[in-house]
Chains A and B, each alone.
Chain A
Amino acid sequence: MSKYLVKRIGYLFVTIAIVSFIVFMMLFFTPGDPATLILGNMSTEEAREAMREQLGLNSPFLVQYFNFVKDLVLHQDLGTSYITQRPVLQEILEVVPNTLILSFVAIVIAVVFGVALGIISAVRQYSLIDAIVTVFAMIGISAPIFWYGLLMILLFSVQLGWFPPSGFDTPSQMFLPCLALGIQSMSMIARMTRSSMLEIIRMDFVKMARAKGQKEVWVILSHVFRNALIPVITVIGLQFGMLLCGALFLEVIFSIPGLGRLMIESIKMRDYPVVMGGVFFMSLCVTIVNLITDICYALVDPKIAKS
């Protein structure tokens, strides 16, 4: 187990290193002159040249990358915003809690309800409730996340007036965006749980558990579900990346000051360091979630921890 863990954490660092390289390459090769962006069109060529020298933009590619990594590792420095002249990391840290709360609550909703609905529809296969869950899950999977956001604002805020359509400070403000973000993953997880459960439920060890005189509830939870969980964990891990992406759209729709809004504003202003910082930060989140997924795997499946 500990060997497995060390290996996985090693992978994490390799992934981060590769991501940092790709992010830096994008920064390096994007057209546009940072000095002009910072100083404005009216600035003189000398002033721009001095600015380039100051930013280290005249050094060769690898030297610049080395400096980028050095700043990142030693000073946790992701660069400086062209527009506000503040450190990128600071800008990101100010808004990222909202994004994380949004994603986290959404994935919790998705896992709890997705798994529960999946179990119910597997246990009651071909029943009315199974049919209802299946239809809603299909709808849930097929429409894009931002569409749910718009739909919910129209229904719950504009028509019914139950929840506010924007902001992210009170629970009632958080409810709609979290729900809108969770629906797609919930549907996916429900489908996966159902099919995985149905595959396991026919197996001999399940009959064996029943033949022991075990109660059906425990047969389902401690035998079927524990085995069915393994593919479901994969889906949950993959869904988190999608979810983070969806969060960016929903932040714009619900006017939530989060990473997504920051990035979209920065793209509009061509504030590349902030954009790249955001991308790097998101990759970091996804990588960490993958690590957690791998650890969960090892906890559930004894074959993985041993080999």
Chain B
Amino acid sequence: MENNKLLQIMDLCVTYKTQEGLVHAVNNLNLEISDKETLGFVGETGAGKTTTAMAIMRLIPCPPGKIEKGKIFFEGEDLLKISDRKMRKIQGKDISMIFQDPMTSLNPVMRISEQIMEMILLHKKINKKEAYAEACKLLELVGIKKERADDYPHQFSGGMKQRVVIAISLACSPKLIIADEPTTALDVTIQAQVLSLMKDLKDEFGTSMILITHDLGVVAEICDKVAIMYAGSVVEYASKEKLYLNPSHPYTKGLFNSIPKLDTDEEFLEEIDGLPPEPTDVISGCAFNPRCPYCMERCEKEKPGITYLDKEHYVCCFLYENK
């Protein structure tokens, strides 16, 4: 194990038992993130992004969910092996999470100051008064007047609520923040504000971040590394520059082709043929093969392993195996 890695996920498999059958939400996922890095985690709806995030927090609802196998190393310790008690010390303090929908991620019957203080009091040895003062400071930090600390969530707009959630997630200066599509539920104009706030605060606090999104534009703006996820596993991983210059996996290429380009006169956007697989389907070989324009005979039989294109760029595709 390399030491400079903050988080390293190895061969993670998560399934959900549903009435339609077993859903393999995450399949042999490998991922890593270093100190102070921002990792963009990109994939379609249902790719398993949220499930991965919840697995890191050890919050997969069980039942129906189950972590079948894998290791999640955080600072050299396997989070899937430690006790609940130890995990609770890490949740919030070392790893915190921002959920997708700010409208529902705050408790409607608690003052926002209480909700921030809850986090502080759980992890810091200070009294209520000091915690309150700290909560006010955090609110100012995310651009909310401290006079509003005693208001309830319904008195805030969606963007403001997400700011409160950001304040909560930063309360204990965590080493890693997992932000699950933090701006998807917001208006476009608010999205940019919230994103730039997150970027600034992340730099200020020196935190690593996993930013889950399906928006490649957002990735271009604030990420260092990008992992492209398809049907439960990472199909390509690279630094942002390398990925944008040289997208390699056919799925990644498809994603980039489906973004409108302003500098060319193309009339139609290319789209990826076909639909993502049904959650309960088990596809033999490469999961992307039914939609892949370069599909070979081999792709239908074997699962491609990891091929390194260079040190910080790998892809799971047979096209690159021999190069």
- Partner-B contacts on A (CB < 8 A): 203-205, 207-215, 222-223, 226-227, 300-303, 306
- 8 A Cβ contacts from B84-127 to A: 87-93, 96-97, 99-101, 104-111, 118-119, 122-123
Residues from chain B with a CB closer than 8 A to the CB of A205 are: 104-108
- Partner-A contacts on B (CB < 8 A): 54, 57, 59, 87-93, 96-97, 99-101, 104-111, 118-119, 122-123, 152, 154-155, 165, 168
With contact pairs A203-B104, A213-B91 given, residues A208 and B165 touching in the complex (Cβ less than 8 Å): yes
The answer, among B122, B152, B155, for a CB contact under 8 Å with A212, is B122
A303 touches B91 (CB 8 A): no
A204 to B96, CA, bound (A): 14
B108 touches A303 (CB 8 A): yes
Residues from chain B with a CB closer than 8 A to the CB of A203 are: 104
Residues from chain B with a CB closer than 8 A to the CB of A207 are: 54, 59, 99, 105
- Least Cβ–Cβ distance between B319 and chain A, in angstroms: 39
- Least Cβ–Cβ distance between B131 and chain A, in angstroms: 13
Residues from chain B with a CB closer than 8 A to the CB of A227 are: 107-109
A213 touches B107 (CB 8 A): no
Residues from chain B with a CB closer than 8 A to the CB of A306 are: 152, 155
B92 touches A226 (CB 8 A): no
- Least Cβ–Cβ distance between A217 and chain B, in angstroms: 12
Residues from chain A with a CB closer than 8 A to the CB of B87 are: 213
With contact pairs A227-B109, A302-B109, A303-B154 given, residues A208 and B90 touching in the complex (Cβ less than 8 Å): no
Q: How many Cβ-Cβ contacts under 8 Å join chain A to chain B?
A: 76
A212 touches B106 (CB 8 A): no
A86 to B99, CA, bound (A): 69
Q: Told that A205-B106, A208-B107, A302-B109 touch, could you supply 18 new A-B pairs with CB distance under 8 A?
A: A204-B99, A204-B104, A209-B118, A210-B57, A210-B91, A211-B59, A212-B96, A212-B119, A212-B122, A213-B90, A213-B92, A213-B123, A214-B92, A223-B107, A226-B109, A227-B107, A300-B109, A302-B152
A208 to B105, CA, bound (A): 6
Residues from chain A with a CB closer than 8 A to the CB of B105 are: 204-205, 207-208
With contact pairs A226-B109, A302-B109 given, residues A211 and B57 touching in the complex (Cβ less than 8 Å): yes
Residues from chain A with a CB closer than 8 A to the CB of B54 are: 207
Q: Which partner residue on chain A sits nearest B106 by CB separation?
A: A205
A204 touches B101 (CB 8 A): yes
Residues from chain B with a CB closer than 8 A to the CB of A300 are: 109
Residues from chain A with a CB closer than 8 A to the CB of B111 are: 302
A/B interface sample: 9 pairs, CB < 8 A: A208-B106, A209-B107, A212-B122, A212-B168, A213-B87, A213-B88, A301-B108, A302-B152, A303-B152
Q: Which partner residue on chain B sits nearest A207 by CB separation?
A: B59
Residues from chain B with a CB closer than 8 A to the CB of A226 are: 107, 109-110
Residues from chain B with a CB closer than 8 A to the CB of A222 are: 110
- Least Cβ–Cβ distance between A203 and chain B, in angstroms: 6
Residues from chain A with a CB closer than 8 A to the CB of B100 are: 204
A208 touches B109 (CB 8 A): no
A303 to B152, CA, bound (A): 8
A215 touches B104 (CB 8 A): no
With contact pairs A300-B109, A302-B152, A303-B154 given, residues A212 and B99 touching in the complex (Cβ less than 8 Å): no
Residues from chain A with a CB closer than 8 A to the CB of B88 are: 213-215
**Which of B89, B100, B118, B155 is packed against the most chain A CB atoms within 10 Å?**
B118
The answer, among B89, B97, B109, B168, for a CB contact under 8 Å with A301, is B109
Q: Which partner residue on chain A sits nearest B109 by CB separation?
A: A226
**Which of A203, A204, A212 is packed against the most chain B CB atoms within 10 Å?**
A212
Q: Which partner residue on chain A sits nearest B122 by CB separation?
A: A213
Residues from chain B with a CB closer than 8 A to the CB of A212 are: 91-92, 96, 118-119, 122, 168
Residues from chain A with a CB closer than 8 A to the CB of B107 are: 205, 208-209, 223, 226-227
A213 touches B59 (CB 8 A): no
With contact pairs A204-B101, A209-B118, A213-B123 given, residues A302 and B108 touching in the complex (Cβ less than 8 Å): yes
A212 to B119, CA, bound (A): 6
**Which of B59, B92, B111 is packed against the most chain A CB atoms within 10 Å?**
B92
- Least Cβ–Cβ distance between A210 and chain B, in angstroms: 6
Residues from chain A with a CB closer than 8 A to the CB of B122 are: 212-214
- Least Cβ–Cβ distance between A190 and chain B, in angstroms: 22
A185 to B105, CA, bound (A): 33
With contact pairs A207-B59, A208-B99, A302-B152 given, residues A213 and B109 touching in the complex (Cβ less than 8 Å): no
Residues from chain A with a CB closer than 8 A to the CB of B154 are: 302-303
Residues from chain A with a CB closer than 8 A to the CB of B152 are: 302-303, 306
Q: Which partner residue on chain B sits nearest A125 by CB separation?
A: B63
A213 to B90, CA, bound (A): 7
